[in-house]
Amino acid sequence: MKTRKSFSLVLLTSLWLTPSPPVGQADEGADPRTESSPKLVAKTYNSGFPLAHDTYNGLSSAGDGRIYYALSSESIDVGAQMYSFDPATGTIKHLGDLTEACGEKGLKTIPQGKCHVRFIESDGKLYFATHLGYYSIIDGMEKIGIPPSGYHPYPGGHLLVYDMATGRFTDLCIAPHREGILTMNMDTRRGRIFGITWPTGYFFRYDLERREMKNLGPLSGEGENGKGPTYRTLCRSIAVNPEDGSAYLTTSEGNILRYRGDRDAIETIKGEDLRKDYFGLYDPTSPGHMGYNWRQTAWCPSEKAIYGVHGNSGYLFRFDPDVPRIEVLDRITSDPSKRSGMFDQFSYGYLGFVLGPDNRTLYYLTGGPIYVDGKRVTGKSSTAMGEAKGLENLHLITYDIPTGACRDHGPIFYPNGQRPLYVNSIAVGLDGTVYTLARITENGQTRTDLISIALPGK
């Protein structure tokens, strides 16, 4: 028994570290019965930050045509770094250190190691939030890092503003109870920022004009700080209706919550929820999955509706907040995943889901099964964290909202044949080029960095 387990681990490690064959040659990681789409070749960039680790969200396109992104860090001494990429010139610019932007440089506190949210543009400025990247693993789960000797506890996530014209950062405030900021969105018309903290899951709103923070309390149980019956996986996406300023979010039990601006309070939507048979069966107190939470959402202005994806099952749905009603539309996983009938390898599902600049095309970066000698390669059977359970086969999916046409554009490879790994972000440039942040291995060193994927005909 011991020998079998050791052999399986060696096999999986070998598959993870061995580059895939160059594009154009036979791909031993694909099964011809399931992998019929053409390959896409991603271009890699080097931002000059060798410590860069897996980034979740932390990437957006802006009205100036540039791509803005943050690269995470697990270091106790170095925080996340922010950059911009100019597609017109192909140049990358380092914009700043997020720990320094928060006024915490040299304080020997656990640094601001992540930006776990998208950048929201308003009046030439980008609004975003910081999170920690230095953790302690307790009972197999990530917890706020215990500072080593000579260091101080995490001071809390910040709401930050970056002025694209001047290059200056402004620090707005610190999150309630000095937790990290896991989720954020903004009602740009009314100047309200909404957020969810980690690990407890406090929901807050910040009023820009009044410079006022209001904590509306924990969303569900003790969030990811809980244990046993008090544990709940937290929502990673807040959807904002710009028409009336409402903000929508979910709980792992499948409840849909609504922030009402007229009452400055949260309520539970009556008559509709995300507890759908198609999404699967979940124990909300069990870690390692998103439960009935939606994974990622996008507001569609032409339909005044929310489009979202349930992470574990990969089902696309449309939520009409006025009815209210959830309409399950299609499983937008990769074609190989559909044929295999299995969930993908990332335990929480994928965050790389966005509405494109044409306001009609949804873009989704998701996984697919890997086959060797006709057999599907599997990794961990379960995990208590948000992580890949095995090697991922990244695909790009598009969904046309008016026609309902869903298309798998194929698996994505680097020019050397390697696969992008740990992909949980997406941005679409004005010309339709898709950007994400992924693991890149060069000269024996692995980092997370920007990559771009150009669709044929774009």
Structural domain contains residue 123: yes
Phi, psi (rounded to 5 degrees) for 17: -90, -20
Q: Among the listed ranges 110-114, 329-333, 386-390, which one has the minimum average pLDDT value?
A: 386-390
Confidence at 41, pLDDT banded by 50, 70, 90: very high
**What is the separation, in whole angstroms, between the first and last Cα of the chain?**
52
- By DSSP bridging, strand 40-44 and strand 405-413 are parallel
Confidence at 387, pLDDT banded by 50, 70, 90: low
Tell me which residue range forms the domain holding 76: 2-453
CA distance 114 to 81: 8
pLDDT digits (tens, 9 = 90+) for 245-293: 999 999 999 999 999 999 999 999 999 999 999 999 999 999 989 999 9
Confidence at 372, pLDDT banded by 50, 70, 90: confident
Structural domain contains residue 358: yes
Residue 7: its pLDDT value, please?
A: 31
Residue 384: its pLDDT value, please?
A: 65
pLDDT digits (tens, 9 = 90+) for 139-184: 888 899 999 999 999 999 999 999 999 999 999 999 999 999 999 9
pLDDT greater at residue 421 or residue 390:
421
Query: Rounded mean pLDDT of 238-248?
Result: 97
Percent of the chain past pLDDT 90, that is, above it, reads 81
pLDDT digits (tens, 9 = 90+) for 116-132: 999 999 999 999 999 99
Structure tokens that stand for 302 in this block: 């032409």
Per the structure, the count of domains in the chain is 1
Percent of the chain past pLDDT 70, that is, above it, reads 89
Which amino acid, one-letter code, is at 307? Y
- Residues 365 and 421 sit within 8 Å (Cβ to Cβ): no
Structural domain contains residue 458: no
pLDDT of residue 12 exceeding 50: no
Confidence at 4, pLDDT banded by 50, 70, 90: very low
Q: Is the peptide bond before 324 cis (omega within 30 degrees of 0)?
A: yes
Q: Among the listed ranges 14-18, 140-144, 197-201, which one has the minimum average pLDDT value?
A: 14-18
Structure tokens that stand for 311 in this block: 């992470």
Structural domain contains residue 105: yes
Residues 6+ apart with CB under 8 A from 18: none
Confidence at 342, pLDDT banded by 50, 70, 90: confident
- By DSSP bridging, strand 296-300 and strand 265-268 are unpaired
Residue 205: its pLDDT value, please?
A: 98
Structural domain contains residue 102: yes
Structural domain contains residue 337: yes
CA distance 290 to 183: 14
Structural domain contains residue 48: yes
Confidence at 23, pLDDT banded by 50, 70, 90: very low
CA distance 49 to 97: 11
Residue 16: its pLDDT value, please?
A: 38
Residue 2: its pLDDT value, please?
A: 37
Structural domain contains residue 71: yes
Residues 6+ apart with CB under 8 A from 247: 185, 187, 194, 205, 238, 239, 240, 241, 258, 259
Task: Assign residue 94 the CATH number of its domain.
Answer: 2.120.10.80
Query: Rounded mean pLDDT of 413-430?
Result: 95
Residues 6+ apart with CB under 8 A from 420: 42, 394, 412, 413, 414, 436, 438, 439, 440, 451
Q: Can you give the C-alpha Rg of the chain in angstroms?
A: 21
